[in-house]
Each structure stands twice: as structure tokens, then as C-alpha cells.
Chains A and B, each alone.
Chain A
Amino acid sequence: MAGILVVAEKNEGEITPASFELLGAARQLADQGGGSVSALIAGSAADASTLIAHGADAAFTSAAPEDSLAEVLLPAVEAAVSQSGADIVLISMSSLGRDLGPALAFRAKSGVAMDCTALAIEGGKLRATRSCYGGNARAEHTWAGGLQIATVKAKTYDALPADGGRSGAVSAIDAIGEARIKVVGVEKATAEGVKLEDAEVVVSGGRGLGDPSGFQSLETLAGTFKQAAVGASRAACDLGWYPPSQQVGLTGKVVSPNLYIAVAISGASQHMAGMGGAKNIVAINRDADCNMVKVSRFAIIEDYKKVLPALIEEIKKLG
């Protein structure tokens, strides 16, 4: 019997938004012939009912602590796969999912597609699409017959509204893994000022600024917005022009602000991997053919030194 198992998660006592998105994804796959939808959660029977209201046909609970590491939760996932008969497992691309997906795959002698941006059932099989090469390429995978496991990028699918009329079986799973790795402390991230990842507006500069003083203009420009932060490309950080903590890109921060102003950044995949999710991109660059200009909504083709002072004044006037 084919079916889909969703591994739901809790964080600080609440079921994560990404878990509900997974249920939304699973319902779409079920409509394409993926079979029934089950969900597993390290949580209570009440949590299980919530998952059913949001799209699961049945749910499993595990008594593992909600902050369990993958090795502790893994046996419960395997038991849920076996009890539900699922041949597809959907997991969030969370700190837990990052570890759980591959661990489950290697135990099942199958594969996992990480951070998927699209899923479909074709010919009764899962087909998963994911981004690779820093967003420059898309890869589509199927499975050679083993358990089809995918971790799903956050905000890829919409959650369904709760439907209290939905019902389904809830059962408890006792299987629990040995904790070889012990959690001894947790610290929530705190940052001074506006965190790069939380900023509504990000103003970033690259090697094309020519010298580190260019970042002063970027800071002034950022200062004209309410929730703005300044970022930098890896090249600019490597040159010591801006702190590595502000690097946006593959090996830096991943941001998805409403407005991203890229100043003198050409748009290599290293950088695009960190800001490709920005909703509106503005490029200021001398090269009209560079990648950043192509992906932008608005662009000014000009030496940034000639544009920024005027832009800062104009935006101040509007504010």
C-alpha cells in the first residue's frame, strides 16, 4: 500500500509552520495518487489531532522529547514508515531534518533529495526537483525502488487551514533511539541592531565597490530605511572590507528581504545562493550584462559613486 509519511516537528512547544506546509504538500501528492497521508510527531495526542485537522489521515505520536536529535527520533520514523506502509517520507529542511533525512535514507539503503522546491507523483513514483550549483541549475530525481525521502524547503508549499471535521486514527510509537550525542546547552541567536536574516531591506556591496569606504555609503543608504541591514559579497569580505558576519551567500547568511539593493555585485552563484529568494532586487552596476542586473526588477547602469549620494537624498525626501 502506497502512502506518504510526514515527519512533523515542534519548536518551543508549538508545531512548526513548516510541518503544516509538509501536510499541504502531502495532500497535493495524495491527490496525484500518492496514497494516504500519515504524520509523525514527537508530541501529544492533541498535537496528532492538530496534524489530522491540517491534512493527515492518521497520525503517530512519539514520546521522544521535542528537541531530540535525529539518532533518537530515527527508530520512531522507521516504525511509522513500516506501520503506515508509506513509500514516501517528507521532512522539513530544518536543523533536525538536515540530519534525519540522510540518516533515514542510508538506513533504508535509499536516497534523500534535500531542500526540494517541487514534488510530483509521475507514473506512481515521486519526482523531486531541487536547486544546485548555487541556484544555477535544477536537478530532478526519482528513486530506484527504495523509500522515497525528500526534505522540503520552507515556504515552498502552502499549509491547509485547519478542518476540525477531519478525523483519523492516532497511535503511539514506543521505539526510541539511544542518545549517543547529548545536548548540554541551547542558546537562541541574538544580534545587535537589525539581524541580516530578519531585515526587510538589505543593501549589499561587492568587490566592484573598489575600496572599503564604499560600505559607508551603503550604511547611509540602509539608514534611510526602517528595517535595513548591510550585507557584503564573499569577495568583499575576503578583502577585509566588511565583517564576515555580514557575508551574504553560500558560505554566509541566507536572506530573503522584501528589497535587496545589490551595489557593484555581479551575481556569481556564491552570492545568488544567499539572496535568490529576495522579493525585489535593485542592481546598481556599471555592467548592463551582469547576472545581477538580469535578475533585478530595477537597475541603474552607472558608477555607484555617482548614484548613491543622490539616491540617499531622494529616498530621504520621500521618507
Chain B
Amino acid sequence: MNIIVCVKQIPDPETPAASFKVDEAAKKVIPAQGIAPVVNPYDPQATEAALRLKDADGGGKITVISLGPDTARDAIKHALAMGADEGVLISDPAFASIDNFQTAAALAAAIEKVGDADLILMGRAAADWDMGVVPAGVGQILGLPVVTVAKGIEKDGDGLTVTRVLDDGFQTVKAPLPAIVSVSNEFGEPRYPQLRQIMMAAKKTVQVWSAADLGIDTGASVMPLEALYQPKVESNVEIIEGDTPEEKARNLAQKLRAAKLV
């Protein structure tokens, strides 16, 4: 079974809020000093799903695709260290500030160029923009069924059985292949690359494709970003005072009672 996993590198969501800054004029997030970008936290689960399916199937190849700047190579290397076979970095100055819709078009073109994929896996959303539209977009562009928010994926004859996380429970669906499946955090813990695997991953091939290599022009944004800003946090915090920790605790309990919270 040939599987393609799409991964994204994003600013670390564990970045302290105080270090998060937006350049409002440029409508861009200013990278926090000294905090390296990370793999989107949902994506290792997608890679984990690919590895389990490949193991169960006993063959095939896992190709990891990421669209981003040169540093996005680290996100690919992480998946390769987990056990994926090959990587493709889609990188082009023309893609520097494209949106989710243009990203879907570029990924769809890359998926076709890799070719022969039985299954395309992605994280349920990227934790930076948190839109979750790329799986559906690639599905529409390639004409493939899309199953979202998966917590379990199993090969089932010629297709897949997928358990989805709904708002109020779970749903089991059967989908034909090829298909696109987005994987949720409920899938379970992804394996952690060992040092030896990290060293082996360094030897695996990562091709770099440009817009010209993919033969696409992503065009203008269909949904322009008009403003990006940090919401004003009006701190109305009441610091509970007291001479001792016990007195502070007593004062807090009184405040909670007065506010009918206890």
C-alpha cells in the first residue's frame, strides 16, 4: 500500500503567550526568538497511522510531503525518523504567503506527481490557522473521497474502515481506496524516533519541488486576509492577598462564595 503523508511545520503552540507577536501591517506572526518551529501536533499521528497500515499490509512505500520554507525539511525528517521512506519538500518563493486553498492546490499537484498513492493521510488541521480545509480541498481537486477526524484506520478488503470522532461520539465508515483521511489526536500516541532512526533518516532522500516543477500557478487568494491582530486581553484579574498561604486560600474561598461559584 503506497501512502502519502502531508505534514506541516508551524510555530510551537507551547510558545508562552508573552512571546507571541503579530506584525499587524504585514498581517504575519513574528517568529518568537529562540523558539524553534515544530511539526504540527496532529501530523505525527498521521505518520503513525501510515506506519501501522504499511506494517499491517506488509509492503508499500510512505512518502512524506511538506509545503513550506527550507526549515520545513525538519518536519519531513521527523516523519522519516519515525519510519517513512521518502520525502518531498515543496518550496518556492511564490508559496511564501499562500493560504490554505492555494496550499491544497499545490499539495494535490505534488500528490499527482508522486503518483500511485492508495491513501493520503493528513493531520485533522494545522494548529496555527486551525482551518482544517486542506484535506477536503485536496479531495475535491483530485476527486477522491475524504474521511475526516479519524481515531482508527484499518485496511478492510480493497478499502478502509475508519472510526471518526464526532461531536457527541464516534462513527464507523467504510471508504473505498484511493482516499484521503485526516487523523485526529484521538488516534493515539505516535512512536518517538530513536537516535539510530534519526541518523538513518538523514540518509533518506528529500526531493525539493518548485512551483514550476509542479506546473502550477496558485493564483490570487480566494479569501484575502484583511487583518491579523492580537485580541486585547483586558486583564481584570483580582489578585487575592493574604499574609499567609492559608489566609489567601480563605480569602479566595470567600470570593468564590460571593461570586456564587462555590
Interface set of A (CB-CB < 8 Å, partner B): 11, 69-71, 94-95, 98-99, 101-103, 105-107, 109-115, 127, 131-144, 146, 180-189, 225, 234-235, 244, 250-252, 258-259, 266-270, 272-273, 280, 282-283, 288-291, 293-303, 306-308, 310-311, 313-315, 317-319
Contacts and interface: CB of A to CB of B under 8 A. Distances in A.
B104 to A, nearest CB: 7
Given A94-B167, A101-B133, A183-B172, A294 B237 contact: yes
B257 A303 contact: no
B243 to A, nearest CB: 12
Contact of A181 (B175, B256, B262): B175
B223 A298 contact: no
Given A94-B167, A95-B166, A180-B145, A138 B229 contact: yes
Contacts of A235: 14
A289 B145 contact: no
Interface of B: 11, 13-18, 20, 22, 29, 41-42, 99-101, 104, 127-133, 135-137, 139-141, 145-149, 161, 164, 166-176, 185, 189, 220-231, 233, 235-240, 245-246, 248-250, 252-257, 259, 261-262
Given A106-B141, A269-B20, A297 B223 contact: no
A107 B167 CA distance: 25
Nearest to B175: A181
B15 A269 contact: yes
B224 A141 contact: yes
A298 B224 contact: no
Interface of A is mostly: mixed
A225 B261 CA distance: 10
A103 B139 contact: yes
Given A137-B29, A298-B237, A99 B148 contact: yes
A142 B224 CA distance: 6
Contact of B252 (A112, A115, A300): A300
A138 B250 contact: no
A185 B238 contact: no
Nearest to A143: B223
B140 A107 contact: yes
Nearest to B232: A138
A300 B236 CA distance: 14
A297 B236 contact: yes
A17 to B, nearest CB: 12
B238 to A, nearest CB: 5
B41 A250 contact: yes
B173 A110 contact: no
Contacts of A303: 245
Given A133-B20, A183-B172, A189-B168, A98 B137 contact: no
B20 A111 contact: no
B79 to A, nearest CB: 17
Contacts of A269: 13-15, 17, 20
A310 B250 contact: yes
B174 A184 contact: yes
Nearest to A288: B239
Nearest to A67: B171
A11 B171 CA distance: 14
A183 B171 contact: yes
B107 to A, nearest CB: 12
A315 B91 CA distance: 57
Contacts of A288: 239
Contacts of A102: 131-133, 135-137, 140
A288 B248 CA distance: 14
Contacts of B224: 141-144
Contacts of B164: 95
Given A251-B42, A295-B235, A310-B245, A140 B227 contact: yes
30 contacts: A71-B145, A99-B148, A102-B132, A102-B140, A103-B140, A105-B133, A110-B222, A111-B99, A111-B100, A139-B129, A141-B225, A143-B222, A144-B220, A185-B171, A186-B166, A187-B170, A187-B172, A250-B41, A268-B14, A268-B15, A270-B41, A282-B252, A290-B16, A291-B17, A294-B237, A295-B237, A297-B236, A300-B249, A302-B248, A318-B257
